[in-house]
Amino acid sequence: MADRLLGASGFDRGKVDEETLARETMAKASPIAHGHDVERHMARHTATRALWVGPVLALITGLFRGWGGAIAALLGVAIVAANFMLSGALMSRAARISLALYHAAALFGFFLRLGFIMATMFALAWAFKIDRTALGISVVVSYLALLTWEAVVVSRGGEKELEWT
């Protein structure tokens, strides 16, 4: 009877089975186990919403700054959309590797992406005659507007395909 409870090697097989069961349960509850890249999916939705924010921002900026301001606003929204897509790809990839890397990607990736936004804005201002004021304002406004829009949609339960449990 003791051999059956402890197994042939003397270890408690029930404990091993509980650990295996716990790992399998965690894998089933994880969005990655089902092939969903939640961060990438959210970034794609945010970038899609940029198609709505961009023209509105370009129209408002164009009224105050002219055609140059409208074009700069569209470029600013495109930069922000690319930033969100980069964020989703980075976070999804890090989540597949480890939780510690996910946290590091969230913290340091934010600063790297801010650097990406600044470098892109400087490169555009250096290479082309562009309305820098409109570009800067449109980047800040579109970033905050898209981030707020996504937060509201998720908090209201509008992203049903993100539910993996």
Q: Same domain for 100 and 59?
A: yes
Q: Is residue 81 a contact partner of residue 50, using CB atoms and an 8 Å limit? A: yes
| Domain carrying residue 123 | 37-158
Domain assignment present for residue 164? The answer is: no
Q: Same domain for 77 and 152?
A: yes
CA gap 63, 71 in Å, rounded: 12
Q: Same domain for 14 and 66?
A: no
Q: Same domain for 76 and 151?
A: yes
The rounded percent of the chain whose pLDDT value lies above 70 is 73
- Number of domains making up the chain: 2
The pTM score is 0.71
Q: Same domain for 67 and 138?
A: yes
The 10s digit of each residue's pLDDT in 56-107 is 999 999 999 999 999 999 999 999 999 999 988 888 888 888 888 888 888 8
Average pLDDT, stretch 109-137? 91
Domain assignment present for residue 103? The answer is: yes
Q: Same domain for 108 and 90?
A: yes
Q: Same domain for 109 and 90?
A: yes
Q: Same domain for 1 and 55?
A: no
Q: Same domain for 85 and 115?
A: yes
Mean pLDDT is lowest, of 5-9, 87-91, 97-101, 146-150, for 5-9
CA gap 61, 137 in Å, rounded: 9
Domain assignment present for residue 63? The answer is: yes
Q: Same domain for 57 and 106?
A: yes
Domain assignment present for residue 165? The answer is: no
Residues with Cβ within 8 Å of 48's Cβ and at least 6 positions away in sequence, in order, are: none
